[in-house]
Amino acid sequence: MKKIVYIVLLLSLLSVSAVAQRISDGVSSRWWTIGAGMRVGFGSMMQKADVESDRTKGFDGAVDGVFNYYFHHRNTKLPFFGVRTGLSVGYKQNSISMPIDLTYKTVDSEGRSITYHVLADNVKETDRQMSLELPVMFAAWYKNIFANLGLRVGIPAVSRYEQKMGNHSVTATFDDYDVSLTDELVTGKISLDDTRMKAKLDAAGFNLCLALEGGYEFDFLGNRLSAGIYVDYGLVDNYKGNGAHFADADPSVIDPSTNTPASVVVNTLTDSYVSSVGIFDIGVRAVYSWRHPRKSASKSKGNSHGAKGRPWRPLM
């Protein structure tokens, strides 16, 4: 993955260097555009669990502020190159679900051997994240077709989870006496509050994605509208937790003692089973862009630059 990041950065630097050389030769002139748009797609946070699980296709979207810095040349047979950046507010959502069927042995404070059997027909965790995104991308435009390639950095601002649990039971079998108790206070039971939990998701980390955008643009309301697709592929692990540990599995039971009943501790699926989280998003994008202010060119006859002598320049 590091090699991919280095290659993208190198290509961006080489493209900027090449165009800068054209400027020094008097061939090109600098120009820029600003725009506002949005992205909508699916994929998002992809959890890798250490046990069998179901993972739904998530949803992601963003509101984009776009800034393009281009180098213009007069040879329309050549593509235009530049740099795309900006600032976005992104949203990602994804779910992971699985049944729980745990059996483990323990010894309580009185020295009694207990076999616990914990069941839940379905536990579903939905993770949601809102982040600030900063793209740094190499941009190319040719005959209304555009392509952007580079990196998209994401800084999580708000990360939350919601977990729901279906039908469940906790059965404790005292092995020395061959006696079983199910959902009793003394041996442990899952409380109603634990069947639906909402809280901050502490495991969400920094995002770094390889980003690709492409599409077509056209005149719209006096400016330019671009429409196309985007793909983001995560280059770093988005999970900063410690991975799965059977002792911390969801849920676990604290043994009863002489003076206190047992208690059930319910953790999130992420804390219990997820070892890594990757980003993969694919969807559609649209950006409306404005030309930057500039002086009009000469109005002399024979001017082929268009109305009012303003040279036409492509916008992203």
316 has pLDDT over 60: no
Burial bucket for residue 145 (CB in 10 Å: 0-12, 13-18, 19+)? middle
What's the mean pLDDT in 27-32?
57
- Rg (the chain; Cα; Å): 28
Least confident range from 24-38, 129-143, 275-289, 299-313: namely 299-313
Contact (CB, 8 A) for 221 and 289 = no
The verdict on whether omega for the bond into residue 99 sits within 30 degrees of 0, i.e. cis, is no
Q: Which residue would you say has higher pLDDT here, 134 or 107?
A: 134
C-alpha to C-alpha distance for 85 and 231, rounded to whole angstroms: 16
Condensed to tens digits (0 to 9), the pLDDT of residues 114-144 reads: 999 999 988 999 989 999 999 999 999 888 8
Provide the pLDDT for residue 47. 76
Provide the pLDDT for residue 16. 47
Q: Which residue would you say has higher pLDDT here, 58 or 28?
A: 58
What's the mean pLDDT in 295-306?
38
Provide the pLDDT for residue 260. 80
What's the mean pLDDT in 211-235?
93
The closest of 56, 9, 53, 58 to 279, measured between CA atoms, is: 58
What is the pLDDT confidence band of residue 209, given thresholds at 50, 70 and 90? Answer: very high
Q: Which residue would you say has higher pLDDT here, 229 or 73?
A: 229
| Residue 153 vs residues 39, 86, 175, 243: alpha-carbon distances, Å | 16, 11, 55, 24
C-alpha to C-alpha distance for 175 and 23, rounded to whole angstroms: 83
